[in-house]
Amino acid sequence: MNPPAPSPAVGIRRTLRSALFIVVAMFGFGFALVPLYDVLCQVTGLNGKTSGVVAQAEPMRVDEARTVTVEFVASVNLDAPWEFHPDVTKLQVHPGRFYTTHFYARNRSARAVLGQAIPSVSPGPAATHFHKIECFCFTQQGFAAGEGREMPVTFRIDPQLPADVHTVTLSYTFFRLPEQG
Amino acid sequence: MSTTADQIAPAHDEHHAPRGLLRWLTTTNHKEIGTLYLVFSLTMFFVGGTMALIIRAELFQPGLQIVEPYFFNQMTTMHALVMIFGAVMPAFVGLANWLIPMMIGAPDMALPRMNNWSFWIMPFAFTLLLSTLFMDGGGPAGGWTLYPPLSLQTGAAFPFVILAIHMMGVSSVMGAINVIATILNLRAPGMTLMRMPLFVWTWLITAYLLIAVMPVLAGAVTMLLTDKYFGTSFFNAAGGGDPVMFQHIFWFFGHPEVYIMILPAFGIVSQIIPTFARKPLFGYASMVYATASIAFLSFIVWGHHMFTVGMPLAGELFFMYATMLIAVPTGVKVFNWMATMWRGSMTFETPMLFAVAFVVLFTIGGFSGLMLAIAPADFQYQDTYFVVAHFHYVLVPGAVFSIMAATYYWLPKWTGHMYDEKLGRLHFWCSAIGVNVLFFPQHFLGLAGMPRRIPDYALQFAGFNMISSIGAFLFGLSQLIFLWVVIKCIRGGEPAPAKPWEGAHGLEWTLPSPAPLHTFQTPPQIDPSEAHG
C-alpha cells in the first residue's frame, strides 16, 4: 500500500487549530460588540443616548423663529422607592437658548438611598442635538430617609435639530444604586 | 484530542470493545455516537412535545384551566430550549455522525474522542436544564431569548440555565469542529468538494455557522450571569448599560442559529428527492452556492427581529431589504427541487412523502417570513401568533419533517431491516394533517391580534385556538406511530438490501445493510457518475 498523500493527521490538526481560533475570536467578538454598540449609539444617537459629557456652553445663534416643544417624563425603576416627577411636563423652547427646569425626587423609604437618573431622548435623531450643561443625571444622588428635593437640569436644543422634529421628549428613569458597604 | 481516526482505526476491533453501558459511554465509533445522538434527540422531542401539549391544553379554551400562568411561561421557555438545543440540533449532529463518513468514504470522524465528549455533555446539560423546573422559583420563564431585565428575575434556576446553555454550546461547537475536520481532511481520493453529496455540503456550511455564532451566545449569557451576580452593568441602564444591546448580541447569534436548524434539512431533502424522482439533482452547483449565500446573509439580518425596538429608518430599511434578499437563494433551492421532480419517475415512499411535504410547507413558512420582513407590516405582526405560526412552519414541517424523512430513508441502512411502509405512511398523513390543523389557524390568530406567550386570551380567539389545540394533539399523538415504526424496524422486519431505493446514489449505498461498525478502512474508489448522490 503506497501512502498517496501525507497523513491526514497533520491536516486535521491544522483544521482544529484554525477552527478553535474562530471559536475564541468569536467569543471575543461577542464582548467587542459592547464598546462597538456604545460608540455606534453615541455617533448616531440611537436609543436616545445623549452624549455623556457636559456640553460646551459657547454661545449659539438663537433661532427665535422656531419653537420646539420639549416634554419631560420621569419614571422610576421597579424596585426603587422614589417619588419622582418633573415640575413642568412641557416647555416651549427656541433652539440655541438655555433653559433650566427642575425635577422633584423624594426618598419614600426609611433608609438613606443612592440613586442615579438615566436620560433618554426621543426621537432618536434628536438625541445628538440635545445638550445639557447641568444635570442631576451627571452624578449619583444621595437621599437621606424621607428627604425630598428639587434637582435642576439646564439644557439647550441645537439649531441644527432636523426641521421635521417639532417635539422632543426627555425621559429620565431613576434607578436605585446598590448599597455601598 | 490529538488522536485521529487514522491512528486508532486499524487497531480498533469490535471484540475489544466493552459491552453493556460502558460500551456506549466510551464509544468513539461514529455510527454508535450517531445512534446515541438520534436516540437522545428523539427523547428530547417527546419531552419538548409534552411541554407543547401542556401549552396547547391550557389554550384549548379561554380562561385558566390547567396550569398556573407562571408555570405556563416556564413551559413556553423550556419547550423552545429543549426543542432547539435538545431535539433539532442533536438530531442533525446525529445524522452527520452516521452519514458524513459513509458519504465521503472516511473510516470515522476525524476526532473520535472529542466526538464522544461532545455527545456525553448533552445528557448532563439537559439534566441540569430540566432540573430547574423543580427548583425554588421554578425554571426560566422569560422566554428562550432570555431578554434582560426579565430573565434576570429568574430565581435560583438562573445560573443552572446559563451553565446548561454553556454546555450545549460547547457540545455543538465540538461537534461542528469535528464535522469540519472530517470533511476537509478525510475525503476519499477523488471525492472533490464539488462531488460531495449535498447533505455533506450543507453540514460543512452549518458547522462554520455553529463555530461562528455559538461563542457569541456564550458571551451573551456570560454577560447576563455577571450582570446578575458580579455587579457588572452590560444590560443594566443604571450602570450605563443597555438592555437593547442584549437583543442585538442575542440575534446576532439567533439568526444564524435558525439557519443552523434548516441548512442540514435542505441537504437531506436534496438527497431524497433525486432518489425518488429518479433524476439527478437539478442545479447541484447552484444549490451549493445558494446554501453559502444564505449562510452569509444570515449574519447581516439580525435586526429584523427588532424592528419595533427602536432603530433609525436607515437601519429598518437595511435589515428589511437584506432579509428579503434571502428569499433569492432560498427560491433557487425550492425551484431546483421542483425542477428535479419535474418529469421524474416519481414514487411516494414515506421518505419522499416527508420530503415533498417539506418543500410545500417550508415554503409556506418562508412566505410568512417574507411578510414579517416587511418592516412597516412587522409592527403589526411583532410578538403575535403570526410569528409563532411562521417559525413553527419552518421548524416543524421544515426541520422536523426533514429529520423524519432522513430517518425513514436511512433506517434500512442503519438497522438492516425495512421499516413498515404502511405504518410509515399512516404516520406521515397523521403528521401532515395534524401539523397544518395545528399551525395554520395560528396565522389568523396572529393577524387578529393574539399575542404570543400568554396563558389566557380574549374570547374572540377561542375558535381558532380550539382547532389549533386539536391539531396539536393529533400531531403529538401521531409521533407515537413514529416511535413504534422505529422500534419495530430496529427489532426486525424484512431484511434490507445494500441499496433499498433503486434510484439512490452515493457511497453509503455501496455498503451492506446494516452498515458494519467499521467501514471504508481503505478509501473507496470514487465513480464520478455516482458523485453527489
Q: What is the pLDDT of residue A48?
A: 63
Q: What is the pLDDT of residue A4?
A: 52
Verify whether residue B502 is a known catalytic residue.
Answer: no
Which pLDDT band holds residue B9 (cuts at 50, 70, 90)? very low
Residue A95 scores a pLDDT above 80: yes
A62 or B166, greater pLDDT: B166
Which pLDDT band holds residue A181 (cuts at 50, 70, 90)? very low
Asked whether residue B4 is assigned to any structural domain, the reply reads no
Residue B196 scores a pLDDT above 70: yes
Chain A residue closest in CA terms to B218: A27
A113 or B59, greater pLDDT: B59
Verify whether residue B337 is a known catalytic residue.
Answer: no
Residue A46 scores a pLDDT above 90: no
List, as one string, the DSSP characters of B28-90: --HHHHHHHHHHHHHHHHHHHHHHHHHHHHHTTSSS--SS-HHHHHHHHHHHHHIIIIIIIHH
Rounded Cα–Cα distance for residues B437 and B466 (Å): 10
A3 or B283, greater pLDDT: B283
| Lowest-pLDDT range of B349-363, B476-490, B518-532 | B518-532
Which pLDDT band holds residue A47 (cuts at 50, 70, 90)? low
Report the side by side order of strands in the sheet with A90-93.
A90-93, A68-76, A167-176, A113-122, A141-143
Residue A165 scores a pLDDT above 90: no
Q: What is the pLDDT of residue A180?
A: 54
Facing B237 at nearest CB: one of A8, A20, A173:
A173
What CATH number should be reported for the domain holding residue B118?
1.20.210.10
Which pLDDT band holds residue A56 (cuts at 50, 70, 90)? low
CATH of A47-176, one of 3.30.460.10, 2.60.120.200, 3.40.50.2300, 2.60.370.10: 2.60.370.10
Buried b or exposed e, range B99-136, using 16+ CB within 10 angstroms: bbbbbbbbbbbbbbebbbbbbbbbeebbebbbebeeee
Pairing of strands A90-93, A82-86: unpaired
Coil, strand, or helix at residue B139? Answer: coil
Chain B residue closest in CA terms to A177: B238
Query: In chain B, what residues touch A79 (CB-CB under 8 Å)?
Result: none
Facing A22 at nearest CB: one of B211, B231, B245:
B211
Chain A residue closest in CA terms to B224: A31
Count structural domains, chain B: 1
Q: From the CA atom positions of chain B, what is the Rg in Å?
A: 23
Q: What is the pLDDT of residue B127?
A: 96
A132 or B488, greater pLDDT: B488
Q: Where are the domains of chain A?
A: 8-44, 47-176
Q: What is the percent of chain B where pLDDT is above 70?
A: 96
Asked whether residue B3 is assigned to any structural domain, the reply reads no
Q: What is the pLDDT of residue A109?
A: 84
Domain limits at B492? Answer: 25-530
Rounded Cα–Cα distance for residues B512 and B413 (Å): 8
Verify whether residue B333 is a known catalytic residue.
Answer: yes
Q: What is the pLDDT of residue A57?
A: 65
pLDDT per residue as tens digits for the range B374-416: 999 999 999 999 999 999 999 999 999 999 999 999 999 999 9
| Lowest-pLDDT range of A136-140, B134-138, B224-228, B456-460 | A136-140
List, as one string, the DSSP characters of A40-83: HHHHH-GGG---SSPPP-------TT--EEEEEEEEE-TT--EE
Report the side by side order of strands in the sheet with A98-107.
A82-86, A98-107, A148-157, A130-135
Query: Does the distance separating the beta carbons of A177 and B238 come in below 8 Å?
Result: yes
pLDDT per residue as tens digits for the range A121-150: 888 778 888 888 888 888 888 888 888 889
Residue A62 scores a pLDDT above 70: yes
Q: What contacts B377, CB < 8 A, 6 or more positions away?
A: B371
Which of A31, A75, A130 lies closest to B241, judged by CA? A31
Q: What is the pLDDT of residue B2?
A: 46
Residue B49 scores a pLDDT above 70: yes
Substitution target from B104, B108, B111, B177 for chain A, most A beta carbons within 10 A: B177
Chain A residue closest in CA terms to B169: A23
pLDDT per residue as tens digits for the range B343-356: 999 999 999 999 99
Omega before B149 within 30 of 0, i.e. cis = yes
Asked whether residue B1 is assigned to any structural domain, the reply reads no
Q: What is the pLDDT of residue B531?
A: 60
Verify whether residue B257 is a known catalytic residue.
Answer: yes
Substitution target from A7, A10, A14, A33 for chain B, most B beta carbons within 10 A: A33
Which pLDDT band holds residue B13 (cuts at 50, 70, 90)? very low
Average pLDDT over chain B, rounded to whole?
Answer: 93
Verify whether residue B30 is a known catalytic residue.
Answer: no
Facing B238 at nearest CB: one of A15, A125, A175:
A175
Q: Are A151 and A84 a contacting pair, CB within 8 Å?
A: no
Residue B6 scores a pLDDT above 80: no
Residue B509 scores a pLDDT above 90: yes
| From B27, B77, B171, B298, active-site residue | B171
Q: What is the pLDDT of residue A5?
A: 55
